[in-house]
Amino acid sequence: MTTSELHASPRASATLGILLAVCLVAPALAADDESSDSDDHSPLHEKMEAIGDSYGHLLQAFRKAPDLAATPLYLKWAETLHTNLAAATQLTPARAEALGDEEQAAMNAAFKKDITAAATTAQKLLDALKKDDLKQAATLIAQLKMLRNAAHEKYREPDDDE
Ligand code: HEM
């Protein structure tokens, strides 16, 4: 078939059209597959990512002398931290799923107690920041780190990255 015949033939044009559509749609579908990889994370992991972000900002800000003028920003991070920790009290660790009924129930109960303690500490952090008490805020940020480290030892999958 010559080029001019190809242009003239409706069937050839339709075939080319379909091929073009496949070329355009296939990469979009592949991209969808990639984005669904991030959905593999548990609901708790998603919350923890948000907790990690806001806590990381606070940690960095308080590493040197915190700035009273920046308190509204600290409050914003502490609010996100608290909201996500409070939401995490309704979830359970992925690690518990592999356990038998009794052990699973025990781990979930212990998790709930510890995550609630962390949410309460984040609430105290909010209260301290609202009073412009940066010294108390620094103490609570340090306490959250201890709670995090101890909790991750107990409830995170052992092969998770640090
Ligand atoms: C300020 C405190 C905390 C921060 C900044 C934090 C941060 C994170 C981050 C970034 C992850 C995901 C990446 C990774 O695995 O390293 C994670 C996972 C996890 N964290 Fe935390 N965390 C905190 C407190 C806690 C507390 C108090 C608990 C439990 C009482 C907890 C339990 C877990 C668990 C179980 C996972 C694995 C997710 C899953 O099981 O699906 N974390 N955390």
Burial class (CB in 10 A: 0-12, 13-18, 19+), 117: middle
Which residue type occupies 130?
K
Going from the Cα of 57 to the center of ligand 1, the distance in angstroms, rounded, reads 16
The verdict on the CB of residue 112 being under 6 Å from ligand 1 is no
Dist CA 110 CA 70 (whole Å): 36
Mutation test residue for ligand 1: of 39, 48, 77, the one with most atoms within 8 Å of CB = 48
Q: Measured at the alpha carbon of residue 8, what is the angle toward residues 7 and 13, in degrees to the nearest 5?
A: 60
Rounded to two decimals, what is the model's pTM?
Answer: 0.80
Dist CA 157 CA 162 (whole Å): 11
- Domain housing 129: 42-155
Same domain for 90 and 10: no
Domain assignment present for residue 160? The answer is: no
The total number of structural domains in the chain stands at 2
Domain assignment present for residue 14? The answer is: yes
Place of tokens 């107990």: 154
The verdict on the CB of residue 126 being under 6 Å from ligand 1 is no
The count of C-alpha atoms lying within 13 angstroms of the C-alpha of 39, restricted to the half-sphere facing its C-beta, is: 5
Same domain for 143 and 78: yes
Domain assignment present for residue 151? The answer is: yes
Distances in Å between the alpha carbon of 15 and those of 4, 6, 11, 20, 29?
16, 10, 6, 9, 21
Instruction: Quote the longest CA-to-CA distance of the chain.
Output: 82
Mutation test residue for ligand 1: of 47, 49, 51, 84, the one with most atoms within 8 Å of CB = 51
CA 83 to chain centre: 13
Going from the Cα of 141 to the center of ligand 1, the distance in angstroms, rounded, reads 15
pLDDT tens for the chain, 162 residues long, are: 444 444 556 666 655 555 545 445 554 444 444 444 456 889 999 999 999 999 999 999 999 899 999 999 999 999 999 999 999 999 999 999 999 999 999 999 999 999 999 999 999 999 999 999 999 999 999 999 999 999 999 999 987 444
